[in-house]
């Protein structure tokens, strides 16, 4: 019985999933296959590989043995049929949408988005002729009203960064499926340790592996994972059900079934656009995934304690964290996130932008940088950095107020994090 068939826990899959030492390379750790291309046994085999009639490695832009382990592990962790790993989270989101959308079509997206995703949807996709209808995800009916005959998918984030809202995933998935379109969920902030979107109606999951899955701020990567349950043969997706002339005319849906979407993304978009990940980055992300369950538990414990401490601080105007009873989506958070509410804590300080900058400039241990999901605690002022290019209205919809400070809470001792925040907040008195 292969590893993929065993019903292991997430913790065990995180360590062992997708890798079995072979007779040619019995390394216990996943080897780094730092190569561009691979020997072909025969002309016949080469032809079969190029026609997608046989599984194997040809060229590392398309596939790589180190990256393949990462893809198998991610699919096992999510409970999906297959995965494609690419160079970054942005590459994953772009590829996921372009795999099924083209000029004249549209997607319906939550307006509660990471700033980079908003730019992709509002600007870049628009230049390609793909419209994006933004809706408030707190009312599932908003998705229903925005969907039309040209809509290709609905899109949302598990915990939006930095909005920290929680949507009713199952209700939105039901609306998508009633319209014969898939639901795509960016699960970066929660990871499969806290939330498994396929269990709540999602059809495609995307990740920035750069964040919590990698966990150490040293490697860029992204992933697309397919559930294997969506019916691409429902008449709405000819790109999957009609032949691809660049591969002999065979339809992906007929040939690959539950992996049709992710194989099309690899065979067409990874081949043609080339957003491939380096084998070294795949290796480093695999190392991070091995400790995911330990880190996410600590991230969540620290974030909850810090958010409660911030609520009591006299110079903090408000705190936004789904684990707080005061959070407007706390009931949904308890329903969908029973094992923890993530590591992103947002709060406002008295005095707005100027006082917020003083706080950020006064931290010592906490790192001021534009990332989340590191083992270290990170801090930033989104209105003047990650979301600066958005209009005031767009920032408001994303939950980015002028006084907002975003923390990505790390795994340090929580008292040390609080001590650093306390010293930084004390500058407001001056």
* 308 shares its domain with 284: no
From the list 365, 386, 47, 70, the residue with the least C-alpha distance to 213 is 70
User: For the domain that residue 77 is a member of, what is the CATH number?
Assistant: 3.40.640.10
Q: Percent of the chain having pLDDT more than 90? A: 82
Please give the pLDDT value at position 395. Answer: 76
Please give the pLDDT value at position 20. Answer: 85
Task: Report yes or no: 85 and 282 within 8 Å, Cβ to Cβ.
Answer: yes
From the list 81, 125, 90, 58, the residue with the least C-alpha distance to 262 is 81
Last residue of a domain, one of 273, 289, 305: 289
Is there a domain that residue 14 lies in?
no
* 141 shares its domain with 271: yes
* 266 shares its domain with 304: no
* 203 shares its domain with 330: no
pLDDT tens for residues 344-387? Answer: 999 999 887 888 889 999 999 999 999 999 999 999 988 887 66
Please give the pLDDT value at position 306. Answer: 98
Q: What pTM was computed for the model?
A: 0.94
* 272 shares its domain with 356: no
Higher pLDDT, 70 or 351: 70
User: For the domain that residue 373 is a member of, what is the CATH number?
Assistant: 3.90.1150.10
* 407 shares its domain with 334: yes
Is there a domain that residue 226 lies in?
yes
Please give the pLDDT value at position 248. Answer: 81
Is there a domain that residue 12 lies in?
no
Quick count: other Cβ atoms within 10 Å of Cβ 140?
Answer: 19
The answer, yes or no, to whether residue 28 has pLDDT greater than 50, is yes
pLDDT class of 5 with cuts at 50, 70, 90 = very low
Is there a domain that residue 7 lies in?
no
Is there a domain that residue 53 lies in?
yes
Q: Is 258 exposed, middle or buried (0-12, 13-18, 19+ CB in 10 A)?
A: middle
Last residue of a domain, one of 274, 289, 304: 289
pLDDT tens for residues 131-179? Answer: 999 999 999 999 999 999 999 999 999 999 989 999 999 999 999 999 9
* 278 shares its domain with 299: no
Task: Report yes or no: 209 and 221 within 8 Å, Cβ to Cβ.
Answer: yes
* 195 shares its domain with 132: yes
User: Read out DSSP for 250-276?
Assistant: --HHHHHGGGHHHHHIIIIIIHHH--P
Is there a domain that residue 303 lies in?
yes
| Planar angle of CA 360, 363, 369, nearest 5 degrees | 60
Provide the residue range defining the domain that includes 67: 22-289
Q: Where are the alpha helices (H) located in 202-264, listed in sequence order? A: 238-241, 252-256, 260-264
Task: Report yes or no: 72 and 83 within 8 Å, Cβ to Cβ.
Answer: yes
Is there a domain that residue 8 lies in?
no
* 237 shares its domain with 279: yes
* 227 shares its domain with 101: yes
* 201 shares its domain with 327: no
From the list 169, 180, 182, the residue with the least C-alpha distance to 112 is 169
* 362 shares its domain with 260: no
Count: domains in the chain: 2
Kindly list the distances between the CA atom of residue 186 and the CA atoms of 23, 42, 43, 190, 408, in Å, as whole numbers in the listed order.
38, 41, 41, 9, 17
Task: Report yes or no: 346 and 392 within 8 Å, Cβ to Cβ.
Answer: no
């Amino acid at each position: 019985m292969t590893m993929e068939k065993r019903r292991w826990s997430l913790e065990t899959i995180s360590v062992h999933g997708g890798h079995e030492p072979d007779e040619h390379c019995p390394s216990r750790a996943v080897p780094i296959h730092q190569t561009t291309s691979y020997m072909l046994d025969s002309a016949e085999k080469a032809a079969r590989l190029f026609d997608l009639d046989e599984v194997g490695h040809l060229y590392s832009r398309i596939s790589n043995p180190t990256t393949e382990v990462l893809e198998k592990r991610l699919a096992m962790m999510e409970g999906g049929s297959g995965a494609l790993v690419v160079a970054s989270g942005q590459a994953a989101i772009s590829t996921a949408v372009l795999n099924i959308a083209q000029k004249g079509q549209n997607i319906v997206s939550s307006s509660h988005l990471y700033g980079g995703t908003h730019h992709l949807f509002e600007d870049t996709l628009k230049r390609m002729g793909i419209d994006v209808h933004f809706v408030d995800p707190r009312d599932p009916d908003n998705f229903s009203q925005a969907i039309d005959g040209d809509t290709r998918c609905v899109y949302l984030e598990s915990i939006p960064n930095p909005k920290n809202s929680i949507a009713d995933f199952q209700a939105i998935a039901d609306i998508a499926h009633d319209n014969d379109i898939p639901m795509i969920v960016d699960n970066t902030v929660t990871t499969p340790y806290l939330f498994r979107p396929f269990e709540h109606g999602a059809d495609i999951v995307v990740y920035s592996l750069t964040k919590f899955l990698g966990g150490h701020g040293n490697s860029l990567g992204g992933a697309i994972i397919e559930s294997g349950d969506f019916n691409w043969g429902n008449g709405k997706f000819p790109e999957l059900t009609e032949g691809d002339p660049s591969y002999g005319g065979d339809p992906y849906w007929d040939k690959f079934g539950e992996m049709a979407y992710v194989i099309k993304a690899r065979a067409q978009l990874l081949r043609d656009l080339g957003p491939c990940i380096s084998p070294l980055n795949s290796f480093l992300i695999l190392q991070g995934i091995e400790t995911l369950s330990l880190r996410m538990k600590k991230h969540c414990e620290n974030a909850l304690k810090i958010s409660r401490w911030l609520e009591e601080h006299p110079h903090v105007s408000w705190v936004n964290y789904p684990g707080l009873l005061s959070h407007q989506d706390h009931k949904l958070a308890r329903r969908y996130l029973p094992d923890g509410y993530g590591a992103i804590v947002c709060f406002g300080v008295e005095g707005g932008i100027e006082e917020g900058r003083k706080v950020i400039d006064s931290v010592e241990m906490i790192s001021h940088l534009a990332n989340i999901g590191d083992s270290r605690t990170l801090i930033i002022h989104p209105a003047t950095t990650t979301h600066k290019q958005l209009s005031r209205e767009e920032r408001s919809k994303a939950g980015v107020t002028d006084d907002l400070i975003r923390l990505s809470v790390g795994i340090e001792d929580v008292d040390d994090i609080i001590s650093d925040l306390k010293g930084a907040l004390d500058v407001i008195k001056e």
